[in-house]
Amino acid sequence: MHITDRLIEAIEAQNNPTVAGLDTRLEYIPEAFAKTFAPDGVWRFANAAEAILAYNLKLLEALRGLVPAVKVQVAYYEMYGVEGMRAFAETLRAAREMGFVTMADVKRNDIGATAQAYAMAYMGKTPMVEESAFSADYVTVNPYLGSDGIKPFLALCGEHGIFVLVKTSNPSSGELQDVAFGDGQTICERVGQLVSAWGSDIIGSHGYSAVGAVVGATYPEHGAALRKALPHTFFLVPGYGAQGATAAQLAGCFDSQGRGAIVNASRSLLLAWQKQNTQDFAQAAAQEALAMRTALREALKA
Amino acid sequence: MHITDRLIEAIEAQNNPTVAGLDTRLEYIPEAFAKTFAPDGVWRFANAAEAILAYNLKLLEALRGLVPAVKVQVAYYEMYGVEGMRAFAETLRAAREMGFVTMADVKRNDIGATAQAYAMAYMGKTPMVEESAFSADYVTVNPYLGSDGIKPFLALCGEHGIFVLVKTSNPSSGELQDVAFGDGQTICERVGQLVSAWGSDIIGSHGYSAVGAVVGATYPEHGAALRKALPHTFFLVPGYGAQGATAAQLAGCFDSQGRGAIVNASRSLLLAWQKQNTQDFAQAAAQEALAMRTALREALKA
């Protein structure tokens, strides 16, 4: 099944365009839960990764049926070494088995031959071994190297998809992305056009391509302009919550039917237990996810 | 010790501005050597990673004293899953212990908080665990997100360094990197300026910063222009050999004293055994490295 059709249908089944970002780090885990993995208080990569995986599994159980998709940010797993990468793989596997649409947020990029290795690692099978290393439904990629760094991923798009960085949510994203070329077009507009062209042959039955774009919620005018310019490009929208964007600010990333985007929340879910002053992090995340769903629904009605 | 001072002195001690790129994949390993790891002919991630690590160790032994630095391209290890990442970590560790300057070619990039996690993974220590996940002397990074995605790496520069993608070696690199802004400057020139500014406080006693640039050998005019514009920025130069660039073409990346750049060779070393029609891949790589050293020395004299 076309991955973006699957994503759109999962969003509509739950009436919730939210992706839960599992940017889990040891510091985010309540002490009572964490200390079962380090009874002597000593953290090594192995027990840290174990605690993080266990935390993720609890969170996935709590978010099942409430949030259609899960995004796993690999940086927070690479930080815990080889054992962290095992927790990353196991988190993706568990999320897939529980029916979530999965996204590996890896922002990979390289020249063609090397991009091919990344594409196989996250979307395909490794030659000779014929197994999947870190399989995810979607992978994020960085466009700085141009088309031939993207093509190996495109070749595997259809049942899998990619989100290409177009306009990122961070404060300095405009340093390069907003600068105008001689013809007045900005880099992020130019990249948006490329993304649309790369995905033009892989459009699903709901009108959206398997090649999507990352568009930060923290820049509402960019979101609305890109939405208009790229009618077949699905948006992954980071920046909600901890990064400062509100539901109203990101409504422009959606189309007139309330489709076309999925909004990521990471820290606001992972740290909901602190805000709610409870040790039950899974229940707290579910409550926060419910509040976010309500906020998004209201913003999309308006 | 300042990492770029260390790199420059290692290059001069061996009179060889070459970095050996260990982009190893199972298909590159001669059958006779590979089959000791899969006597039944069945490849899984575990024995594939074991074979790749063993191959790398033999290569490192052969290149010791001949090549001052080693670059490990993580894509080819991620492809073999968690076990591949273990081979990646072990290869970096072995190279460091053998005295090579090490480079993790990971092209990581993200918003500040996440870039911080990557920086700790490759250049620092992971909080609470207080160990290094995948420590390397240099890390490659992608600038598309602007300054706040780079700052966490800068904070760890000095004994460690980074190479920021400026002008990449692939055919489509110009799609974004060569487009001119309204003021006539191209993106790669603008990024070059940023790189120079990011590194201006971390210049070593030989005049080069710990913040370097990736400049592809396949674009000689860009290399020469960037060399002139960025007198304190050390260049990591890919594209020699298998990607088509010759020693003469990349001479412009060096300064008038023959310093300021290091040239990567990956496939030409890894597959030298095929060209030389031998199973002794380590000896073949050493011979190829010698030929490359001679070619570079002659190009730099001219």
How far apart, in Å, are the Cα atoms of B208 and each of A132, A204, B6, B107, B300?
42, 51, 11, 21, 19
Measured in angstroms, the CA of B145 and the nearest CA of chain A are apart by: 5
Contacts of B121 in chain A (CB under 8 A): 75, 78-79, 81
Closest Cβ opposite residue A182 in set B145, B165, B182? B182
CB-neighbour burial class of residue B172 (10 A; exposed 0-12, middle 13-18, buried 19+): middle
- Residue to substitute from B52, B107, B237, interface A, most A β-carbons within 10 A: B107
Contacts of A41 in chain B (CB under 8 A): none
Measured in angstroms, the CA of A259 and the nearest CA of chain B are apart by: 26
Q: What is the predicted pLDDT for the residue at A34?
A: 96
Closest Cβ opposite residue B27 in set A80, A128, A168? A128
Contacts of A147 in chain B (CB under 8 A): 172, 175
Residue A112, C-beta contacts closer than 8 angstroms, at least 6 positions apart: A148, A149, A151, A152, B170, B171
Q: How many domains does chain A have?
A: 1
Measured in angstroms, the CA of A16 and the nearest CA of chain B are apart by: 25
Q: State the Cα–Cα distance between residues B38 and B291, nearest whole angstrom.
A: 33
Q: What is the predicted pLDDT for the residue at B216?
A: 96
Residue B97 has pLDDT above 90, yes or no: yes
Q: What is the predicted pLDDT for the residue at A118?
A: 98
Q: What residue of A is the nearest CA neighbor of B141?
A: A109
**For residue B49, what is the enclosing H or E element?**
helix B45-63
CB-neighbour burial class of residue A74 (10 A; exposed 0-12, middle 13-18, buried 19+): buried
Tell me, what's the ipTM? Answer: 0.97
Q: A172 falls in which pLDDT band (50, 70, 90)? A: very high
Q: State the Cα–Cα distance between residues A10 and A18, nearest whole angstrom.
A: 10
Domain with residue A31: its CATH number is: 3.20.20.70
Q: What is the mean pLDDT of residues B147-164?
A: 98
**For residue B213, what is the enclosing H or E element?**
strand B211-215
Q: What is the predicted pLDDT for the residue at B98?
A: 98
Q: What is the predicted pLDDT for the residue at B241?
A: 84
What's chain A's average pLDDT? 96
Closest Cβ opposite residue B114 in set A75, A117, A177? A75
Q: What is the mean pLDDT of residues A90-102?
A: 98
pLDDT in tens, A201-232: 999 999 999 999 999 999 999 999 999 999 99
pTM of the entire predicted model: 0.98
The residue range of the domain holding A292 is: 3-301
Q: Do A107 and B142 make contact, defined as CB atoms within 8 angstroms?
A: yes
- Residue to substitute from B85, B183, B194, interface A, most A β-carbons within 10 A: B85
Q: What residue of B is the nearest CA neighbor of A83?
A: B82
A244: left (phi over 0), alpha (psi -120 to 50) or beta: left
Question: Which residues of B are the active-site residues?
Answer: 107
Question: Which residues of A are the active-site residues?
Answer: 107
How far apart, in Å, are the Cα atoms of A270 and each of A58, A233, A285?
11, 29, 6
Is the separation of the CB atoms in A214 and A224 below 8 Å?
A: no
State the count of interchain CB pairs (< 8 A) between A and B.
216
Closest CA to B67 of B10, B2, B23, B4: B10
Q: State the Cα–Cα distance between residues B121 and B126, nearest whole angstrom.
A: 7
Contacts of B43 in chain A (CB under 8 A): 128-129
Residue B183 has pLDDT above 90, yes or no: no
How far apart, in Å, are the Cα atoms of A69 and each of A18, A224, A283?
7, 23, 18
Stated length of chain A: 302
Residue with tokens 């099944």: A1
Q: What residue of B is the nearest CA neighbor of A110?
A: B107
pLDDT in tens, B74-90: 999 999 999 999 999 99
How far apart, in Å, are the Cα atoms of A126 and each of A114, A155, A170, B29, B32?
13, 15, 34, 16, 21
Q: What residue of A is the nearest CA neighbor of B126?
A: A79
Q: Do B176 and A146 make contact, defined as CB atoms within 8 angstroms?
A: yes
Give percent helix, percent strand, percent coil of chain B, each to the nearest 5.
Answer: 50, 15, 35
Q: What are phi and psi of B283, to 5 degrees?
A: -65, -40
Contacts of B145 in chain A (CB under 8 A): 165, 168, 170, 172-173
User: Taking the CA atoms of chain A, what radius of gyration do you get in angstroms?
Assistant: 19
